Amino acid sequence: MVPPSPLDDPEKAAHAWARYLRIMRWMMLVTVGFVAAAIYLLYRSNGAVSIHFYIAAALGVGFTMLLASALMGLAFLSSGTGHDESIVDPLEDERNAP
């Protein structure tokens, strides 16, 4: 039988998701700052090149940072709520055998 996850409780789940959204809002601000800094540094080093270069750089930096922060936020959510401990480990008997 699968043990219940702490995220099955609506109150704990609401708190965890609110924390996750708060982390993502902060990371969105950080991402916008990094994208602006990247565009500024690219403009300083390359000058006026095609606008497509700057659009691609902004989208690449922005998407990469937001994806990384979303995945790390989900890892923190899973670990912080105790959801990671509520799994059934099929290899537990093998590891505990003498």
Q: Are 42 and 54 in contact (CB under 8 A)?
A: yes
Which H or E run includes 23? helix 10-46
Closest-CA residue to 83 (of 1, 9, 18): 9
Q: Provide the residue ranges of all domains of the chain, joining segments of one domain with +.
A: 31-81
Q: Is 16 exposed, middle or buried (0-12, 13-18, 19+ CB in 10 A)?
A: buried
Predicted confidence pLDDT, tens digits, the chain (98 residues): 667 777 778 888 888 889 999 999 999 999 999 999 999 999 999 888 899 999 999 999 999 999 999 999 988 888 877 777 777 777 777 777 66
**Could you give the angle at the alpha carbon of 43 between the alpha carbons of 39 and 47, nearest 5°?**
160
**pTM here?**
0.74
Number of residues assigned to the chain: 98
What is the predicted pLDDT for the residue at 5?
77
Is 20 strand, coil or helix? helix
What is the predicted pLDDT for the residue at 78?
83
Give tens-digit pLDDT for 61-82: 999 999 999 999 988 888 877 7
